[in-house]
Chains A and B, each alone.
Chain A
Amino acid sequence: MKDTLLNVKDLQTAFFTDSGVVRAVNGVSFNLEKGKVLGIVGESGSGKSVTAYSILRILVDPGKVVGGEVFFKGEDVLKYSKREIRSLRGEKISIIFQDPMTSLNPVYTVGNQLMETIMLHTDRNRSEARQRAIEMLTLVGVNDPEKRVKQYPHELSGGMRQRVMIAMALACEPDILIADEPTTALDVTIQAQILELMQELQKKLGMAIIIITHDLGVIADMCDEIIVMYAGRICERGTSDEIFYNPKHEYTKGLLRSIPKLGMGHIRLKPIGGSPVDLLNMPKGCAFASRCDRAMKICLTNQPDEIAIGPEHMAACWMNVKAVYDEAADSGNKQGGDDK
């Protein structure tokens, strides 16, 4: 625990809209250690982006963090003054967004936007910042960087723009890079290139990464730990291997069934049926119950707690409790009792 960079505790975020309180994040907790890669997985609307925005406090208007703590190197970021939070953003924690097409300002050159971050957080003057910008563009594999700095975002392709975003995020050597679906908007070959680049840079620069995605398959081999989110809650967490080969939450299992695996041949993919839970009216029990094939009575009335499956594996699903009971019942059966 000594190298913990980020410690999120029971984070709760809600949007106070006209039609009611949308509970987007409902008690998310996790730790991120130095140099580690954490994956956050979940379908659209599960609260992944809102979690990330809450950490950096870049939520927009009706959104508010209503509970919990976010410790960065032991300091509660949620208690930071405006000035303190600004020196965290872009300098210690950077973020890149889902849509590179719209995430750069169309009326300023790429160089201008890169240099802006660099000059804001470091002592470099204009020409040094420009030098640094070119250096960063080279690092992220943008060809002809000297020409690129003078270009406007619309003159670059989507993949190039995402590289620019990465360059911008890493220009001040942050401790943590949050990548919010960095490849969703890009086509498959570019996706692979960008992920490869991120892995490579992670090795080179040693920052910790939080990578957010709705596609478990995409990030499997780069994460040290994976968190599976549903309806603003964490349903399962564990190492990549545990999540992939030993999933213990029905939602995780559903997610795994819905992704194509290499070498799987032509097995039919099964998307999870039903529609996401209504965040305005969260159910009392397990949020996934209405879509779960194995839902039991208790799932409808009681929210499952996170239960340790192994040393680095937790799941919040009643099935695991049932498994323990069944085991106990089995051994009881041998003694002649019939337990229901």
Chain B
Amino acid sequence: MWKYILKRFGLAIVTVFIIITITFFTMNAIPGGPFEKEKAPDPAVKALLEARFHLDKPVPVQFWYYLTDMFRGDFGISLKTGRNIMQTINESFAISAKLGGIAALAALAAGLVLGSIAAIMRNGVFDRVIIFFTTLFVSVPSFVLATLLLLVFCLKLAWFPVWSAESHSYFLPILALALYPMSYITRLTKSSMLDVLGQDYIRTARSKGLAETKVIFKHALRNALIPVITYMGPLVAYILTGSLVVETVFTIGGLGSKFVTGITNRDYPMVMATTIFLSVLMVVATLISDLIYKLVDPKISFD
């Protein structure tokens, strides 16, 4: 098992390195630069600035500088604000992690519970209500949902304050971020639960004289979880990309909105750093979900 984890860990590092390389060279291939606005700076100033950020060197050399700095935890400074990027990421990640973490956990917990209930009480009123809402939320894009929530509950009804320095109300952003994956997980859990409940080993469990709760929560749920766990990777990916939109709509200064403003500002170091950070998160999440998958399903062996 440890051998497997080590192997996966090595692969993860390689993956991250490839992502960094691709991102770096793609960013360099994009025409235009931070100092080419309508009001272009004086050529002398521009040359100075470029020298300051090593932009006068050939690209591979720049890459080398970048990598070595990165290993020292230095992602450079923002071309826009001049602030240390590592510090910015640290601050904004705290906000994003709270938002994304709660959204992911809420989506998982609610999805599993609602999906199981829907499966057990299939064709009942509750099941129908769940089917209606999950279908709705699965088909509404997150930027529409986020905008609607903001419009109705913050601006029209004023039940929740708009995000500002004084008031950090996470409720609506979490809702906007969690409703889609929650609905998806609910549907996934329901169909996998229905499938499992029809299996022979469930009949065996009942024929032993086990109580129905034990049949469902011990024998059915763990099997029904397997497809849900495979969705964990995509879930994290969704939360990461979804937060770009949701944080921007709700004007939350999280990592996602830093990434988006970084792009609009052509703030390359900022975009680089956030991309790397997000992909590392993604790789780690995939690794963890793979390990959980193997723990739940004994048929998958550690090789």
A89 near B207 with CB under 8 A, answer: yes
A90 and B299 contact, Cβ closer than 8 Å, known pairs A60-B198, A99-B200, A107-B222 = no
Binds A, one of B158-166, B185-193, B208-216: B208-216
Judged by a CB distance under 8 angstroms, whether A95 is at the interface is: yes
B203 near A97 with CB under 8 A, answer: yes
A90 and B208 contact, Cβ closer than 8 Å, known pairs A107-B296, A152-B298 = yes
A174–B181 Cα gap in the complex (Å)?
Answer: 48
A107 near B297 with CB under 8 A, answer: yes
Question: Nearest CB to that of B298 among chain A residues?
Answer: A152
B299 near A86 with CB under 8 A, answer: no
Chain A residues near B222 (CB-CB < 8 A): 107-108
Judged by a CB distance under 8 angstroms, whether B133 is at the interface is: no
Cross-chain contact of B223 among A107, A121, A152 (Cβ < 8 A): A107
B201 near A120 with CB under 8 A, answer: no
Q: What's the least CB distance linking B198 to chain A, in Å? A: 7
Cross-chain contact of B208 among A82, A109, A117, A154 (Cβ < 8 A): A117
A33–B204 Cα gap in the complex (Å)?
Answer: 25
B201 near A102 with CB under 8 A, answer: yes
A89 near B206 with CB under 8 A, answer: yes
Judged by a CB distance under 8 angstroms, whether A32 is at the interface is: no
Chain B residues near A117 (CB-CB < 8 A): 208-209
Q: How large is the interface on B (under 10, 10 to 19, 20 to 34, 35 or more residues)?
A: 20 to 34
A239–B223 Cα gap in the complex (Å)?
Answer: 45
Chain A residues near B205 (CB-CB < 8 A): 105
A120 near B208 with CB under 8 A, answer: yes
A88 near B203 with CB under 8 A, answer: no
Q: What's the least CB distance linking A119 to chain B, in Å? A: 11
Chain A residues near B199 (CB-CB < 8 A): 102
Judged by a CB distance under 8 angstroms, whether A193 is at the interface is: no
Judged by a CB distance under 8 angstroms, whether A28 is at the interface is: no
B207 near A58 with CB under 8 A, answer: yes
Chain B residues near A168 (CB-CB < 8 A): 208
Cross-chain contact of B204 among A60, A105, A152 (Cβ < 8 A): A105
Q: Mark B232-244, 1 if CB is under 8 A from A, else 0.
A: 0000000000000
A105 near B223 with CB under 8 A, answer: yes
Judged by a CB distance under 8 angstroms, whether A256 is at the interface is: no
A121–B211 Cα gap in the complex (Å)?
Answer: 12
B207 near A56 with CB under 8 A, answer: yes
Judged by a CB distance under 8 angstroms, whether A125 is at the interface is: no
Q: What's the least CB distance linking B170 to chain A, in Å? A: 36
B210 near A116 with CB under 8 A, answer: yes
Chain B residues near A97 (CB-CB < 8 A): 200, 203-204
Question: Nearest CB to that of B201 among chain A residues?
Answer: A105
Number of interface residues of A (CB under 8 A): 30
Q: Mark B55-81, 1 if CB is under 8 A from A, else 0.
A: 000000000000000000000000000
A103 near B201 with CB under 8 A, answer: yes
B204 near A89 with CB under 8 A, answer: no
User: Which among A56, A82, A105, A152 has the highest number of chain B CB atoms within 10 Å?
Assistant: A105
Chain B residues near A46 (CB-CB < 8 A): none
User: Which among B198, B204, B206 has the highest number of chain A CB atoms within 10 Å?
Assistant: B204
Judged by a CB distance under 8 angstroms, whether A332 is at the interface is: no
Question: Nearest CB to that of A154 among chain B residues?
Answer: B299
Cross-chain contact of A86 among B198, B201, B211, B219 (Cβ < 8 A): B211
Chain B residues near A271 (CB-CB < 8 A): none
Cross-chain contact of B207 among A94, A105, A106, A108 (Cβ < 8 A): A94
A104 near B204 with CB under 8 A, answer: yes
Q: What's the least CB distance linking A16 to chain B, in Å? A: 13
B206 near A104 with CB under 8 A, answer: no
A218–B21 Cα gap in the complex (Å)?
Answer: 69
Q: What's the least CB distance linking B153 to chain A, in Å? A: 41
Q: Mark B269-303, 1 if CB is under 8 A from A, else 0.
A: 00000000000000000000000000011110000
B208 near A116 with CB under 8 A, answer: yes
Chain B residues near A58 (CB-CB < 8 A): 203, 206-207
B207 near A107 with CB under 8 A, answer: no
Q: Mark A117-139, 1 if CB is under 8 A from B, else 0.
A: 10011000000000000000000
Judged by a CB distance under 8 angstroms, whether A87 is at the interface is: yes
A107–B211 Cα gap in the complex (Å)?
Answer: 19
Chain A residues near B298 (CB-CB < 8 A): 106-107, 109, 152, 154
A161–B297 Cα gap in the complex (Å)?
Answer: 18
Chain A residues near B204 (CB-CB < 8 A): 97, 103-105, 165
Cross-chain contact of A89 among B201, B208, B219 (Cβ < 8 A): B208
Judged by a CB distance under 8 angstroms, whether A225 is at the interface is: no
Contacts A/B (CB < 8 Å), 13 sampled: A99-B200, A102-B199, A103-B200, A103-B204, A105-B223, A106-B223, A106-B297, A106-B298, A107-B223, A109-B298, A117-B209, A120-B210, A168-B208
Contacts A97-B200, A102-B200 known; 7 new A-B pairs at CB < 8 A? A86-B211, A90-B208, A95-B207, A97-B203, A103-B201, A152-B299, A168-B208
